[in-house]
Structure 1
Amino acid sequence: MDAIWGAETGAVEWVQGWGSWLEPIMLAITALGSKTLLIAVLPLVFWSVHASLGARLTVVLLGSATVNGVLKSAGHGARPYWYDPGVRPLSTESSFGIPSGHAQTAVTLWGYLAAAAARPRVWAAALVLIALICLSRIYLGVHFFTDILGGLAVGALMLWLVVRYEHRAVAWWRSRPLLVQAALAVGLSAVGPLLVALVQATVWSGWTVPEAWTGPVPSDPDADALADAASLSGALLGVLVGFTLLDRRGWYSADGSLITRAARYITGITGVVLIFVVVKLAFPASADAAAEYTTFLGATLWASFGAPELFIRMRMADRERDGSEEPATAAPPA
């Protein structure tokens, strides 16, 4: 890849040369595909907008992120500013570069919403957002063009698979006994970290930073990759178990007045923050992977099951009413 990255470095520097006035704009645009934004927005959709859409979108994005983490670890690709100090790091990343997680997430997220809306104007807006997010990653110096193309390709494949097979997969899942669902949830959630650990122990065993990478490379990107995989594993297990249990108890409706919806979100997100704080205090800094797994398992189990059940008990929400919301695990219409 050195020859390709060497040729692309000049193009990245050219994009960065468009002007420093673009930096705050690009930082704002890139946030539309960031992990922090998704942590804040996905519960908002699930608790306060439309429970079925929020649940499906959460599972889709966690699955996509897991695939992206495995592929990044398998590729061990440099970031532009890792490779060449001439590229300005207007944002910093500790994970490997290819495929671009932001590009993949943008296609999966905005493409899924556009497919759900099924309107040409929504598709046009989604394509513009995807293009801007991709451009922001290049401008900020955190991705090569090849990283972006890889992310777009994987994201498009994931989106196609979800749109084509989602209803069948959900109907099949819902028809399984609870113990089988629990076993499947554990198995699916473990795939990501197991594959990342396997790749690190075989393909990249003994890997060190190549001499050609003359920029500021993070001290241990492999450890960060494993910690990210652990967090995704915990999150995926939490939502699969939580949504399954919630569905078996009659699901949950996000209907209600604006004040009620806002109260649900404030209550729920407070619980998420408390879980993050408690786990941070309980785990030493050296236990990164364990802390990440525990944090995201607890937070997503709360968000997908604990908080909705609390809302129902506090009369801030009802079970699904009059079919107004299709459960996330409902079978497609005949």
Structure 2
Amino acid sequence: MIYEPVMRAGADFMMAFQGVSPALEWPMRVLTFFGEESFYMIVITLIFWCFDQRFAVRLLGLLVLSSFLTDICKLALHSPRAYWWDASVQALVSESSYGPPSGHSSNGIALWGYAGYYLKRTTGRSWVLPLCIVIGLSIGISRMYLGVHFPHDVILGWLLGGSALLGMIFLGEGFLSWYTHLTGRARVVVAMLVVFFVIGVGVALKLVLADIADDPIWVENALADQPGERIDPRSLKNFANLAGVAFALAMGGSLYQKHARFLSQGSGLQLLGRYLLGIVGVFAIRAGLSYLFGSGDDPVALALRFVRYFLIVFWALYLAPLLFLRLKLARSPTPV
């Protein structure tokens, strides 16, 4: 566990921060939303369908990498969130996973940082990069105000997200070039190995923690602050999600390149039609399969969760573009 005096100092800072003004709550909630799964679904699909497929695919790949590293570290550190550890810290939102590192902070600095880097290179607007970095950092700061992360959680998240960002900038293109030159069969094998690796790491970490008990006061404090919201910090749900997304990114991306490539340009009505049709499909799959499959952490539930996230991304990358072409909402770059 993180050294307790550090947590004490962090909790005191958070309570002072929360005491600055209640008017900060909604701006902080908005900033936190900029690091949520739903926000990334809305924005990355918009970029892919209407603006720049290359950019969107890299953002999605970076999201998988940053989230995977974060989930590994959460289980490895198995440390509490601020409001679990100190009942005096008020949580304005509830979370069920371990605390450090902050996933919002790591994903925020990774994705917003990459967005700034990419847009600066492609548009030449130098102000975009610092703006995006400020937004990425602000997402982490919002998590302290909302009571769910100590300052050290946020700092660790920034460092982890920054590492993922640098990895994408300096190594990402080389990896993508290597992967795209593989045969179709080799791509499937690599994708399956990634799935087994992601799930295997999660299972291995959970087994390592099997004989290590969490402090029962964490559950008591969490329930006292957020009644009805039980914590489940050792769940493998996120690992199943990421495995499904990674497999769909590999398979859907390959099929898109072969059969569903389209030009991002189009009339205003075409762009609107693409986005509305596509995003309705994304959230219909997400909500519909969540209702049908239910929730849980047993092997069957995790397998169904893998299927749900696979289908969300497979729809976005392959099935929706096929539909756009059929409905004349997009044009193929080459005559069909």
1:4 Cα deviation from its structure 2 partner: 1.8
- Does residue 209 (structure 1) correspond to residue 214 (structure 2)? The answer is yes
- Inter-CA distance 129–278: structure 2 relative to 1 (3 Å threshold): closer
1:220 Cα deviation from its structure 2 partner: 4.9
- Does residue 296 (structure 1) correspond to residue 309 (structure 2)? The answer is yes
1:212 Cα deviation from its structure 2 partner: 5.8
* Alignment-derived partner of residue 126 in structure 1: 132
> C-alpha separation between the residues in 1 aligned to 2:164 and 2:287?
33
1:211 Cα deviation from its structure 2 partner: 4.9
Superposed counterparts of 1:61-100, under 5 Å: 61-100=63-102
Tell me which of 241, 249, 266 is aligned to 1:256.
Answer: 266
> C-alpha separation between the residues in 2 aligned to 1:56 and 1:135?
25
Contact 1:69 1:192 in 2 (8 A): no
> C-alpha separation between the residues in 2 aligned to 1:101 and 1:66?
10
Count of residues in Structure 1 that have an aligned counterpart in Structure 2 = 320
Runs (5+) with no aligned partner, structure 1 = 323-334
Q: Which amino acid counterpart does residue 42 of structure 1 have in structure 2?
A: I
* Alignment-derived partner of residue 226 in structure 2: none
Per-residue Cα deviation, 1:41-81 (whole angstroms, up to 9, x for no partner): 11111011212211221111122112211221211121100
* Alignment-derived partner of residue 232 in structure 2: 221
User: How does the TM-score come out when normalised to structure 2?
Assistant: 0.89
- Inter-CA distance 285–114: structure 2 relative to 1 (3 Å threshold): closer
> C-alpha separation between the residues in 2 aligned to 1:220 and 1:100?
16
* Alignment-derived partner of residue 148 in structure 1: 154
CA-atom RMSD in angstroms: 1.9
Question: Secondary structure at the residue paired with 1:22?
Answer: helix
Runs (5+) with no aligned partner, structure 2 = 224-228
Question: Secondary structure at the residue paired with 1:106?
Answer: helix
Q: State, as a whole percentage, how many aligned pairs show the same letter.
A: 25
Contact 1:71 1:98 in 2 (8 A): yes
Superposed counterparts of 1:30-179, under 5 Å: 30-118=32-120, 119-179=125-185
Per-residue Cα deviation, 1:63-121 (whole angstroms, up to 9, x for no partner): 21122112212111211001111001111111111111111111111111111123431
Which one has more relative contact order, counting CA pairs under 8 Å at least 6 apart?
1
> C-alpha separation between the residues in 2 aligned to 1:104 and 1:321?
39
More off after superposition, 88-97 vs 119-128: 119-128
* Alignment-derived partner of residue 189 in structure 2: 183
User: How does the TM-score come out when normalised to structure 1?
Assistant: 0.90
> C-alpha separation between the residues in 1 aligned to 2:26 and 2:196?
38
